């Protein structure tokens, strides 16, 4: 089964410091910025939400240097600049946003800073993976019964 953890970011200082374990199979979505980092784009990470957002911003700036400055075209440059500016605003607490960590393998985690109580600022949903997700993870083609008989 997979997990989907949704946490508002930046509402309190403790939100900046939440530990996050992001596996390679996890996707990160920030709807307010129209930003989706697909699985594998950042690799596995153990950091804080603030650290993760900083790494996303750095990756957008460093991997796409032609999206900024003189050599950029207006369409991609404008959109990329807006996303980077939005990440800056979130990191400086000028803007509230929601972080969605969706991991079909279920190997990711966002810290509950209220533990052992329920976290009022986070929703965790466990779900059954789709056939497409099973295929992407290589699970669909695994032989788990009578594997000794196949050649």
Give the bridge partners for 48, in sequence order: 19
**So what's the pLDDT on residue 48?**
93
pLDDT in tens, the chain (151 residues): 566 666 655 555 557 788 999 999 999 999 989 999 988 888 899 999 899 999 999 988 887 665 555 555 555 567 888 899 999 998 888 888 888 899 998 899 989 888 999 988 888 888 898 888 878 888 877 777 776 665 5
Residue 75: partners with Cβ closer than 8 Å, 6 or more residues away: none
Burial 30-48 (b: 16+ CB within 10 A, else e): beebebebebeebeebeeb
- Structural contact between residues 142 and 16, judged by C-beta atoms closer than 8 angstroms: no
61: its two tokens: 């700036």
pLDDT of residue 122: 85
Can you give the pLDDT at residue 85? 92
CA distance 4 to 52: 17
What pTM, to 2 d.p., does this model score?
0.76
pLDDT in the model for residue 34: 92
């Amino acid at each position: 089964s997979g997990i989907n953890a949704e946490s508002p970011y930046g509402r309190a200082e403790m939100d900046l410091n939440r530990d996050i374990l992001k596996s390679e199979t996890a996707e990160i979505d920030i709807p307010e910025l129209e930003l989706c980092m697909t699985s594998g784009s950042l690799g596995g990470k153990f950091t804080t939400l603030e650290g993760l957002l900083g790494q996303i911003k750095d990756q957008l700036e460093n991997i796409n240097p032609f999206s900024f400055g003189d050599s950029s075209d207006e369409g991609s440059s404008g959109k990329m600049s807006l996303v980077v500016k939005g990440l800056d605003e979130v990191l400086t607490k000028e803007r509230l946003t929601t972080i969605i960590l969706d991991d079909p393998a279920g190997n990711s985690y966002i810290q509950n800073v209220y533990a052992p109580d329920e976290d009022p600022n986070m929703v965790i949903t466990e779900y059954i993976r789709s056939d497409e997700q099973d295929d992407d993870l290589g699970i669909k083609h695994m032989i788990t019964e009578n594997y000794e008989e196949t050649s």
